[in-house]
Amino acid sequence: MTDKVTVPVESAWFSKINWTQASAAATALIVAFGVSIPPEKATAILAGLNVAQGTLTWIMRTWFTDSVTPGSVAGK
């Protein structure tokens, strides 16, 4: 059986999920190494960032993603 489906394909550069992950990683590095804040506050900020990153990714992937990237269908 060869069912074919046409879906919108966008570059990974336009992925909301990729930008969320990259932004969270950059923010985590800045909090951990770039600014002078007390360790207990840094821990709280990093924990909150981790929760926010995961939640935003889950929400976007579940309800706001209607396209695929070329890499997600390669070899299928």
Q: According to the model, what pLDDT value does residue 6 have?
A: 77
The answer to whether residue 44 sits within a structural domain is: yes
The answer to whether residue 45 sits within a structural domain is: yes
The answer to whether residue 51 sits within a structural domain is: yes
Question: How many domains does the chain fold into?
Answer: 1
Which distant-in-sequence residues (6+ apart) come within 8 Å of 7 by Cβ?
67, 68
The answer to whether residue 74 sits within a structural domain is: no
Range of the domain at 63: 36-67
Q: Which range is least confidently modeled, 27-31, 40-44, 59-63?
A: 59-63
Which distant-in-sequence residues (6+ apart) come within 8 Å of 25 by Cβ?
none
Check whether 74 has a pLDDT greater than 70.
no
What are the tens digits of pLDDT across the range 25-34?
A: 999 999 989 8
